Amino acid sequence: MDENNTKPNDKNIKVLRTYTSDMADVIRDNEMSVIKIAMAEKEKRNQEDVYEKAEGTPLSKIFFVIGGIILIVGAIVGSYFLFLNKKEVPQTVATNIDTFISYDSKSNIDVTNTIGLSDLLGLIQKEENPTIGLIKVLFLTKITNTSSVLLTSKNFLSLIGTTAPDALIRSLSDKYLLGKYKDQNIINEGGKPATFLIFETSNYPQAYASMLDWEKTMLKDLSVLFNLNISNSNDPLFEKAWKDIIINNKDARVLYGDNGQGLLYYVFVNKNDFIITNNIDTLKEVMARLITKNAQPQ
């Protein structure tokens, strides 16, 4: 017999599979799958732990939300107070205050607790009068928080209780000046220093028209402040009409008394500034200083 024909052909040998071997394969494959699943689950849990730590505990989240709310409320409150402070910024009183005119002396009068015109006059009368030919200005101040600030024109008119038209008050800036001037003619007449007021307007047509309207009650409003001896509230002087007059080449208005003497004067020196006073020499002096000051380079 041919020996070659008796050798088995490896290619034709088939592997004999049994039930036991199949089960072993299945178990081996399942074990690999279980391990993979377990490892995947472990990795997932590790990631969730990382996310939870990053997000924080429920208590820390509550504190975080509360802190955020406090910050937002604080920002809103701070913005509100900043808005209020910007809305009206008072002018802090300085040692040397630059104003409409040059002056020779000054006084700061605290009117924080002043109620009306009578209280204000009591404070003014305590001040020393200016020397002959010199101007003394009176800066009315009030205490706000911890600083002393100048009284605004609107607050001043309210303090002395005027009936000035609302249109006039709206046209005024916060800046104004109250002062006194002692002229030689006043001394010879045995009178007190004359009082003057300077106001600034940003609306000349409105201010001028309003001043004409105020003429009806201006004498009643200012007679006490300007030391005009009018004791009778029904005095016919309150019904007299104002007249036009030229003073230093400026159109002015005057209210004459029964003896022909000027009781009150006012004049628009320019489109922005006007003066009220009870003495013509005082008016001329203040006008001259105002014009000189405006002519100086800013």
Is 90 exceeded by the pLDDT of residue 96?
no
Q: Does position 11 have pLDDT exceeding 50, yes or no?
A: no
Supply the pLDDT for residue 69: 78
Which domain does 63 fall in, by range? 19-87
- Listed range (162-176, 231-245, 280-294) with the worst mean pLDDT: 231-245
pTM to 2 decimals? 0.68
What integer is the mean pLDDT of 173-189? Answer: 83
pLDDT of 13 reads 47
259 domain residue, yes or no: yes
What pLDDT band is residue 89 in, cutting at 50, 70 and 90?
Answer: very low
Count of other CB atoms within 10 angstroms of residue 227: 15
Per-residue pLDDT at 12 exceeds 80: no
Q: Which of 87, 113, 141 is the last residue of a domain?
A: 87
Distance between CA 42 and CA 153 in Å, rounded? Answer: 79
pLDDT of residue 185 exceeding 80: no
The proportion of the chain whose per-residue pLDDT surpasses 70, expressed as a percent, equals 68
DSSP result, 261-297: -EEEEEEESSSSEEEEES-HHHHHHHHHHHHHHHHS-
Residues 151 and 279 in one domain: yes
Q: Is residue 96 part of a domain?
A: no
Q: Is residue 98 part of a domain?
A: no
Task: Tell me the average pLDDT of the chain.
Answer: 81
More confident residue, 83 or 267: 267
A 10 A CB-CB count for 248 gives 12
- Taking only the tens place, the pLDDT of each residue in 243-276 is 999 999 999 999 999 889 999 999 999 999 999 9
Q: Answer whether residue 113 is part of any domain.
A: yes
End-to-end CA distance of the chain: 138
Domain count across the chain? 2
Q: Which residues contact 174 (CB under 8 A, 6 or more apart)?
A: 91, 152, 153, 154
| pLDDT per position as a tens digit, 101-156 | 999 999 999 999 999 999 999 999 999 889 889 999 999 999 988 788 999 999 99
Cross-strand bridge partners of residue 105:
136
Strand 135-144 with 172-181, pairing: antiparallel
Which pair of tokens denotes residue 289? Answer: 């200083």
Is the domain of 73 the same as that of 187?
no
Look up tokens 């178990």; give the residue: 27
At 87, which amino acid appears? K
Question: Between 270 and 73, whose confidence is greater?
Answer: 270
CA dihedral for 168, 172, 174, 177, sign (positive or negative) = negative
Q: How many percent of the chain have pLDDT more than 90?
A: 53
Tell me if 31 is assigned to some domain: yes
Do 270 and 148 fall within a single domain? yes
Same domain, 54 and 143: no
For residue 194, give the DSSP letter.
E
Same domain assignment for residues 25 and 65:
yes
Q: What is the dihedral of CA 111, 117, 119, 125, to 10 degrees?
A: 90
Judge whether 92 lies within some domain: no
Kindly state the average pLDDT of the residues 48-74.
64
Do 161 and 74 share a domain, yes or no? no
Pairing of strands 250-256, 105-110: unpaired
pLDDT greater at residue 110 or residue 96: 110
Helix (H, G, I), strand (E, B) or coil at 22: helix
